[in-house]
Amino acid sequence: MLDSSFFVSDVVHTREVELADGSTHTLHFKELPAGVFRRFALDNQNDNEDVRVDSMARIVAAGLVTPEGKPALTFEQAKRLKAEPMLRIFEAIQEVNAPDPKVTTSGDSGTS
């Protein structure tokens, strides 16, 4: 049996996301299963340009949640995000899903 650390948890992770204008926003993220990232990689190699263009919006819609863990925006809303906020949110999703192994996590600490 694999240890629970091999699986995504239900913990909602909080991150401060800073935009180029200097504003900081408290956002919430959930861990995503490997298949979501695999789909992202495959979408980016797809021959269909629309699929490639929408790949980041799909992962943002999957990973950005409310403090209660519910979806914070739809895929259609994610497609309408400006480029810079989309990138900052995507970076936070990557951080939540590939945390620094040197950081000890204890739930929603902002560093998990």
Closest to 108 measured CA to CA, from 58, 69, 63: 69
> Could you tell me the pLDDT band of residue 102, with boundaries at 50, 70 and 90?
low
Q: What is the tens place of the pLDDT at every residue in 57-70?
A: 999 999 999 999 99
What confidence score (pLDDT) does residue 87 get?
Answer: 97
Going from N- to C-terminal start, the domains of the chain cover: 6-92
Closest to 31 measured CA to CA, from 15, 44, 52: 15
Predicted model pTM: 0.85
Distance CA 87, CA 57 (A): 10
Q: Which residue has the tokens 């989309």?
A: 86
Strand order in the sheet with 64-65: 12-18, 24-30, 64-65
Contact call for residues 99 and 107 (beta carbons, < 8 A): no
Supply the CATH classification number for the domain 6-92.
Answer: 3.30.2220.20
